[in-house]
Amino acid sequence: MIQLKKYIVLFLFVCSFGAKAQNTYKNWSDIIRKNDAAWFGTAEAKSIAENVLLYQRNIGGWPKNIQMQHELTEQQKKDLTRLKKTSEETTTDNGATCQEMLFMSKMYAQVKDERYAASFLNGLDYLLKAQYANGGWPQFYPLKKGYYTHITYNDDSMVNILNIIKEVANETDYYSIKPSKEIIEKSKKAFNKGIDCILKTQYKQKGVLTAWCAQHDEVTLLPANARAFELASLSGYESTKIVLLLMSIDKPSREIVTAVKSAVEWFDKTKITNLEEKRVLNDAGKVVDKKMIMVQNGAPIWARFMDLETNEPFFCDRDGIKKKSLDQIGSERRNGYSWYSDAPREVLKKFPDWAVKNGTKVGTADKKNVTLITVAQDGSGDFTKIQDAVYATPAFPYEKVTIYIKNGIYNEKVQIPECNTNLVLRGESKENTIVSFDDNFSKINLGRNSTFYTSTLLVEGDDFSASNLTIRNTSGDNGQAVALSVVANRVKIFNCILLGNQDTLYLSGKEAKQYFKDCYIEGTTDFIFGGATALFENCTIHSIKSSYVTAASTPEGTAFGFVFKNCKLTADAKATDVYLGRPWRIYAKTVFIECEMGKQIKPEGWENWSKPDAEKNAFYAEYNCKGEGFQPGKRVAWSHQLQKTEAEKYTIENILQDKIENWYL
């Protein structure tokens, strides 16, 4: 009987494991990219692999838009076996061939079936043979008559090819199959030719480099038409992956750097911030209509098609006649095609770091288009002082402006004025990029509110972020002395060190939302204080002496105040009696969720600051914390231990919700 139970347990375990390994994705591309590595060793994956092998033509390529996971009949298998000898419909359009090669690589990593390796290498050979002498690739190979012969950037076709060849040429471990040295050398040459083609096809508008078209003529390299509604134009979507590919190249040439900078300038010039797409869905969730609505300061989007000379967006029906707005074309094309894209945002987000890495500087001729400023004490940047860099940033820019600060100790008070929205301070490293000053209440001596003038860094501009910095107030234990003061909305502080004593971090601003992640925050009394809604995730909160961690002044009726999630509360050895918080104002809200609390935290946890009304109105709570300092049974009676259903409401979306969605990402 005992032996039988063991077999039953083993059977259930195997069944459970098999269920977890089962594919749950419906689309072929999702099956390839979203399943974990172990799934590619399952019987289900092996069965699909047989289909993929059947669909591959002997020439090495695959047809497009095939759901390879669907079970095949015996007749379909015979038909595919017959088709293997042909080159019918082999293409790289819509991800074809490139995604099947990735599938075979993932299969071979789990199952050393040499047919998988041979399939991948045959696909690679197909890609190398399909390349034009000028470095471009057609949409179909062997060549298919019509616009299919054009060099095809459409739907990222050529970029997908080059990304494969780049991994092979660089001999990375991205693909599990290792080609011969001969193929690696061919790949290096093919990649370089492909990049040269990209540089030569970048469109010049009155002598100024801009972006790329979805198709370029394979002989003249000029923008070319495709389908009737796909006229020659500059593409906001296809140009994105091209630029990201160029940015991925180590030690880029001067020509590549120029191409990237020119494209970024074009993206900035052509962004649209006064429109948003609204989709109308039926009961089944299918899009039945698309409408563009007017907004103010919307998140930037770009048109798929822009006039080659004016950059003006245009739209076409199957009659090939340009229209100026989406509502001027029929519903079939309006709803069945992607006319706008937000893809270039990724380029604009990554460009500042790329620019710093590749030694580019901000030009001084046109400050209104500044997107990156470098600060370096040795004079190698644009400025030697952070505040001077802030003064050089444009007011209320549409896109982020990054001030990159190289390592050094910057002894200065820094203010980010209200007009300097969308500003990023990014240090070279949090340990060695230090902003430091020593103001305190007595030194300022400006009356009873002197505390609020002591900050080393004052942030008043909305949509600010800082990372990789140490921000400190060095005045010592001499009363109130703020290191970082934030009186703005939608502020993100990541991977920073905040050092001070009393009142290290002040958080305020009308209905302000602020987000701290992976930070170290140190102080003595009330060293995190103010009335903003603020979320702290994965932070270390360190008490220097016995006192109070927080002093919230949450306004009445505010849903959340200070929320600490997955944080660690630590202390110096001399700090043995530390309160989690006390109410600066009687409606204070502070919650600790799944935090680790050291033994320095007093059993009662909270103090009312001699305000009996606070015991009725303040909201102090904890949930599922741990450590010697977490003693829920000994907490003051007027605090709370949340139930699971209550704690589930404390999501990042709920806490930081704002009219601008997902600003905290």
Please, is 88 exposed, middle or buried when counting C-beta atoms within 10 Å of its C-beta (0-12, 13-18, 19+)?
Answer: middle
What is the Cβ-side half-sphere exposure of residue 478, based on CA atoms within 13 angstroms? 12
Task: With H, G, I as helix, E, B as strand and everything else as coil, classify residue 537.
Answer: strand
Residue 56 to residues 88, 105, 131, 194: CA-CA distances in angstroms? 10, 15, 19, 25
8 A C-beta contact, residue 542 and residue 520: yes
DSSP string, 304-315: S-B-TTT--B-E
Tell me which residue of 302, 307, 139, 316 sits closest to 216, measured CA to CA.
139
Tokens of 453: 């003038």
Question: What is the CB neighbour count within 10 angstroms for residue 185?
Answer: 12
3-class SS at 76? helix
Give the Cα separation of 463 and 620 in Å (integer).
29
Residue pair 480/453 in contact (Cβ under 8 Å)? The answer is no
Q: Which residues are catalytic?
A: 503, 526
63-69 contacts, C-beta under 8 A, 24 or more apart:
63/88, 63/89, 63/90, 63/91, 63/96, 64/89, 64/91, 64/93, 64/94, 64/95, 64/96, 65/94, 65/96, 66/28, 66/96, 67/27, 67/28, 68/28, 68/31, 68/100, 68/103, 69/23, 69/28, 69/31
Instruction: Report the distance separating Cα 656 and Cα 442, nearest Å.
Output: 35
CB atoms within 10 A of CB 81: 10
Nearest-angstrom CA–CA distance, 536 and 518: 8
Provide DSSP, 82-117. HHTTS-TT-B-GGGTTHHHHHHHHHHHHHS--HHHH
Q: How far apart (Å, rounded) are the C-alpha atoms in residues 584 and 552?
A: 5
Answer whether 453's CB lies under 8 Å from 405's CB: no
Question: How far apart (Å, rounded) are the C-alpha atoms in residues 378 and 286?
Answer: 58
Q: Which of 398, 178, 203, 446 is nearest to 298 (CA)?
A: 398
Structure tokens at 535: 């979320």
Query: Dihedral (C-alpha) 91, 92, 97, 100: value to the nearest 10 degrees?
Result: -130
Query: What are φ and ψ of residue 113, in 5° steps?
Result: -90, 115
Residues 497 and 482: their CA atoms lie apart, in Å, by 14
